Amino acid sequence: MLNSIEEVQAAMERAKYITDRPIATLLYLALKLEKPILVEGEAGVGKTEIAKVLAEILKTKLIRLQCYEGLDVSTSLYEWNYPKQILWMKQAEICGTSQKALVKEIFSPEFLIQRPLLEAIQSDSPEAPVLLIDEIDRSDEEFEAFLLEVLSDFQITVPEIGTLKAIRKPWVIITSNRTREIHDALKRRCLYHWIDYPSFEKEYRIVMTKVPGINRTLADQICSFMQAVRGKDFYKKPGISETLDWANALIELHKDHLDRAAVEETLGCIFKYVEDIKRMKEVELDTCLGALTKNDQPLTIPA
Amino acid sequence: MPWRIDEERSTPDDSSLTRKILLFSQSLRKKKVGVTIDNTVDVLRGISFIDLQKKEDFYHLLKFNLVSHREEIKLFDELFERFWSEQRETKPPVQEGGEDKGFADQEGESPKGISKEGFKVDDREETSEGGATAEVFPLAYSPEEVLRGKAFGHLDTEELKQVREAVVALSQKMARRFSRRWKYGPKGDRLDLRRSIRRSMGYGGEIVELRRKKSKPKPLEVVFLCDVSGSMDIYSELTLLFAYGLQNNYPHCETFVFSTRLTRVTPFLRGKSFEAALSILSQRVRDWSGGTNIGAALRQLREHHGALLRPGRTLFLIFSDGWDRGETGLLDGEMRKLKRRVNRLVWLNPLKGSPSYQPLCRGMATALPYLDDFLPCHNLESLGQLARLVS
């Protein structure tokens, strides 16, 4: 079913993920070469979405591991179910179970709480699950080293039980916002892709698909405006999620085209820093609005 | 340029295509792109899955596998265009003979033939890169050793290049030290159930001894305040480079520049090439190379970005020569307030490197009593001292 780049792209579009050929190629190669994917890019360009859409087109489960500082083995891999173990021990004491049998019992898989990585490896669904490791740059370096180990042979050793091997290798997608560099060894193991801000055409198609009830003029103006904004130096440039938020906000306010007042009222949807809003109002607003009038030629893109 | 691979030759086991891919990987390695053998093998595996008639797909196959940093993309694109377009149509005079020979004796090629072609391509790489590589190559000792003691103000272009690399390496090392944290401890504040239960097995399942663990210490936050006023010109680029290296390897770092006014530059340093970062900085920082008003800059920092200053967690680095033209009273008051709100206050002064230097100028003399450390930073040696100090 997914035997060519075109088929992958078509399947992604059916799942309402507007994409371009590079990303379709990336998923296709990951499926064929059975390699993990590492996507980097600014916040809000749709990195996480890739994993969601992959799970959807493969009709499989998405297992998500959100990284944060201090993420460790007991929250990412497995943890013993301590209350259950304690109850079991108390019961064993009353029933007079032998100690050896008890140890064997309470360190069995039944007492193991699976965290995302173990869950991905132990999944017994017919299609391998998609494992999303989100924002790996937030985790500590020691976790990265540990992840490298897991990704190289897809097996996990629990001292009390033994080695658990993957039934099916999960499809792994790692995302990073680049607040710090990821270790080279991990990067080199993955198919690497840097996702840029979308082109006008791509963003226009995304807005038309994802925002119900938007008219072509407004979508066109929003996207032109966003392209102009991203050409300037702001602390935090808006991504696609900001574009969609903004489009929805404008629709709620019953705007059918952009003008200065409409933009000024809704700047909070586009920018997340006071300095950026201030700079927009004082310096850049005119040039960005100017970009709208230039872009007056009729659109040839299908709705 | 047009894209062509002969159809008969495009089978996955085709030796000339395989060899070209190997050579391409090698050229990338020569440009310091860390392509591994596995990466190249994956490209070769991937060939059978794509349609080689489509240049775009072939390009992506190579790019996804061989590139692993955003900074490498531009380099890759240039090399890709040069390497894969010159197959037939254009043959730069230097490598013409080599290329043709390579394809001619493709059938029964001897090991000699391969190495011959290999050398040809190597030659071309060397010539196209110019003399720079040839000069660096024969250095058998560490150039850093020689440069360690040399003041930044006295570097020529080649030395500056090496110092830059060393500065980035140093900042990475420092970032790694910051990130290291410890976890288990007998007197921790959190219950370690995992170990407690494991331990209780020896007492027949009765929890006699409670094991504890220390929660991980919160990471150190670094705030870097860099003076870019006129008197600091020679030093500020290298110091910014240091900040840049730290910023891109350690998430808990904020960088500000100031001369008469303060500008937060963290987002401009992050995730860009250093050159791109510098050019944005010079556009956005309006008073670059202006006068100095440290007190006002500190007040601005406290008022607008006060949340960044956390007692017990913030390492505050001021990089300036202390030639302050603002009010002494203001500086004194701000230093006192700052001292209370940070864990450690370090002043880096490039002038301190000179043996005859005395912190007599008004600004420096005012600030001195509040400092935890007062360090020179005029050469690599002294930056190394900083890295050691904070770890």
pLDDT band of B9, cuts 50, 70, 90: very low
**Is some CB atom of chain B closer than 8 A to the CB atom of A68?**
no
| A184/B34 touch (CB, cutoff 8 Å), yes or no | yes
This prediction's pTM: 0.71
| B46/A33 touch (CB, cutoff 8 Å), yes or no | yes
Asked, for residue A186, whether it belongs to a domain, the answer is: yes
The 8-class DSSP code of residue A128 comes to: P
Say if residue B8's pLDDT is above 60: no
Residues 249-268 of A with CB under 8 A from B: none
Say if residue B217's pLDDT is above 90: no
Asked, for residue A301, whether it belongs to a domain, the answer is: no
3-state SS string over B215-254? Answer: CCCCCCEEEEEEECCHHHHHHHHHHHHHHHHHHCCCCCEE
In a shared domain, residues A174 and A270 = no
Asked, for residue A31, whether it belongs to a domain, the answer is: yes
What is the complex's ipTM, to 2 decimals?
0.85
Distance, CA of B214 to CA of B234 (rounded, Å): 45
Q: Which residues of chain A make contact with B270, given a CB cutoff of 8 A?
A: 178-179
Domain that holds residue A284: 200-294
Distance, CA of B85 to CA of B91 (rounded, Å): 9
Residue of A34, A47, A105, A191 to mutate, testing the B interface (most B Cβ within 10 Å of its Cβ): A191
Asked, for residue A252, whether it belongs to a domain, the answer is: yes
**Is some CB atom of chain B closer than 8 A to the CB atom of A183?**
no
Say if residue B138's pLDDT is above 60: no
Give me the DSSP letters along A28-60: HHHHHHT--EEEEESTTSSHHHHHHHHHHHTT-
Determine the 3-state secondary structure of A257 from DSSP: coil
* Greatest mean pLDDT range, B136-150, B195-209, B233-247: B233-247
Q: Which residues of chain A make contact with B179, given a CB cutoff of 8 A?
A: 140-141
Q: Which residues of chain A make contact with B42, given a CB cutoff of 8 A?
A: 33, 35
- Model confidence pLDDT, tens digit, residues B237-248: 777 888 888 887
Q: What is the end-to-end Cα distance of chain A in Å, rounded?
A: 27
List the A37-41 sheet strands across, edge first: A62-66, A130-134, A171-176, A37-41, A191-195
pLDDT band of B87, cuts 50, 70, 90: low
| B61/A93 touch (CB, cutoff 8 Å), yes or no | no
In a shared domain, residues A86 and A216 = no
**Domain tally, chain A:** 3
| A89/B283 touch (CB, cutoff 8 Å), yes or no | no
CA distance readout (Å), B87 to A124, B55, B101, B127, B129: 49, 13, 13, 19, 20
- What pLDDT score was predicted for residue A125? 84
**Is some CB atom of chain B closer than 8 A to the CB atom of A103?**
yes
- How many Cβ pairs within 8 Å bridge chains A and B? 105
Cα–Cα nearest to A174, from A2, A72, A19, A35: A35
Residue of B50, B51, B58, B60 to mutate, testing the A interface (most A Cβ within 10 Å of its Cβ): B60
Q: Which residues of chain B make contact with A275, given a CB cutoff of 8 A?
A: 264
| A181/B200 touch (CB, cutoff 8 Å), yes or no | no
Instruction: Spell B127-145 as b/e; 16+ CB within 10 A means b.
Output: eeeeeeeeeeeeeeeebee
Q: What is the CATH number of the domain that holds A42?
A: 3.40.50.300
How crowded is the C-beta side of A71, counted as CA atoms within 13 Å?
24
Distance, CA of B191 to CA of B75 (rounded, Å): 52
| B197/A28 touch (CB, cutoff 8 Å), yes or no | no
Say if residue B215's pLDDT is above 60: yes
> Given the DSSP bridges, would you call strands B314-319 and A191-195 parallel, antiparallel or unpaired?
unpaired
More confident residue, B91 or A85: A85
| A79/B194 touch (CB, cutoff 8 Å), yes or no | yes
In a shared domain, residues A33 and A155 = yes
- Dihedral, B93, B95, B98, B99 alpha carbons, nearest 10: -90
- Model confidence pLDDT, tens digit, residues B161-173: 777 777 777 777 7
| A140/B50 touch (CB, cutoff 8 Å), yes or no | no
In a shared domain, residues A177 and A283 = no
In a shared domain, residues A282 and A207 = yes
In a shared domain, residues A54 and A20 = yes
E-state strands within chain A: 37-41, 62-66, 78-80, 112-114, 130-134, 155-158, 162-165, 171-176, 191-195
**Is some CB atom of chain B closer than 8 A to the CB atom of A102?**
yes
Q: What's the gap in Å between the CA of A275 and the closest CA on chain B?
A: 10
Asked, for residue A303, whether it belongs to a domain, the answer is: no
- Which amino acid makes up residue B225? L
Q: What is the end-to-end Cα distance of chain B in Å, rounded?
A: 53
The 8-class DSSP code of residue B130 comes to: -
In a shared domain, residues A272 and A156 = no
> Which of A171, A195, A219 is a domain's end point?
A195
Q: What's the gap in Å between the CA of B355 and the closest CA on chain A?
A: 38
- Model confidence pLDDT, tens digit, residues A172-226: 999 998 887 788 889 999 999 999 999 999 999 999 998 988 999 999 999 999 9
Asked, for residue A162, whether it belongs to a domain, the answer is: yes
Instruction: Spell B4-31 as b/e; 16+ CB within 10 A means b.
Output: ebeeeeeeeebeebebbbbbbbebbeee
Closest residue in B to A29 (Cα) is B46
Q: Which residues of chain B make contact with A29, given a CB cutoff of 8 A?
A: 46, 49-50, 60-61, 64-65
pLDDT band of B178, cuts 50, 70, 90: low
In a shared domain, residues A210 and A286 = yes
Distance, CA of B318 to CA of A233 (rounded, Å): 26
- Dihedral, B315, B316, B317, B323 alpha carbons, nearest 10: -160
- Which amino acid makes up residue B312? G
| B181/A140 touch (CB, cutoff 8 Å), yes or no | yes
Closest residue in A to B65 (Cα) is A191
Q: Which residues of chain B make contact with A79, given a CB cutoff of 8 A?
A: 194
**Is some CB atom of chain B closer than 8 A to the CB atom of A104?**
no
Residue of B47, B64, B181, B218 to mutate, testing the A interface (most A Cβ within 10 Å of its Cβ): B64
> Which of A167, A195, A223 is a domain's end point?
A195
**Is some CB atom of chain B closer than 8 A to the CB atom of A192?**
yes
Distance, CA of B388 to CA of B174 (rounded, Å): 8
**Residue A224: both structure tokens together:** 């032109």
Task: Identify the sign of the CA torsion A54, A56, A58, A64.
Answer: positive
In a shared domain, residues A100 and A31 = no
Q: What's the gap in Å between the CA of B201 and the closest CA on chain A?
A: 7
- What pLDDT score was predicted for residue B259? 80
Instruction: Spell A22-58 as b/e; 16+ CB within 10 A means b.
Output: bbbbbbbbbbebebbbbbbbbebbbbbbbbbbbbbbb
Residue of B28, B49, B179 to mutate, testing the A interface (most A Cβ within 10 Å of its Cβ): B49
Mean pLDDT of chain B: 73
Asked, for residue A302, whether it belongs to a domain, the answer is: no
Residue A301's H or E segment, with its range, is none
- Dihedral, A52, A56, A62, A67 alpha carbons, nearest 10: -10
The 8-class DSSP code of residue A170 comes to: P
In a shared domain, residues A178 and A263 = no
Distance, CA of A234 to CA of A226 (rounded, Å): 12
In a shared domain, residues A148 and A54 = yes
Q: Which of B204, B219, B267 sits opposite A235 (nearest CB)?
A: B267
Mind listing the domains of chain B with CATH numbers?
8-136 (no CATH), 183-216 (no CATH), 221-390 (3.40.50.410)
- Which amino acid makes up residue A62? L
Residue A212's H or E segment, with its range, is none
| A99/B267 touch (CB, cutoff 8 Å), yes or no | no
pLDDT per 10-residue tile (average), chain A, 303 residues: 90 90 94 94 88 94 91 86 86 82 85 92 89 91 85 86 88 90 88 93 92 91 93 87 94 89 91 87 86 57 46
Asked, for residue A82, whether it belongs to a domain, the answer is: yes
**Is some CB atom of chain B closer than 8 A to the CB atom of A35?**
yes
Q: What's the gap in Å between the CA of A148 and the closest CA on chain B?
A: 15
- Model confidence pLDDT, tens digit, residues B373-387: 888 887 777 777 777
In a shared domain, residues A52 and A154 = yes
Query: Given phi > 0 = left and psi -120 to 50 = alpha, else beta, which region is B313?
Result: alpha
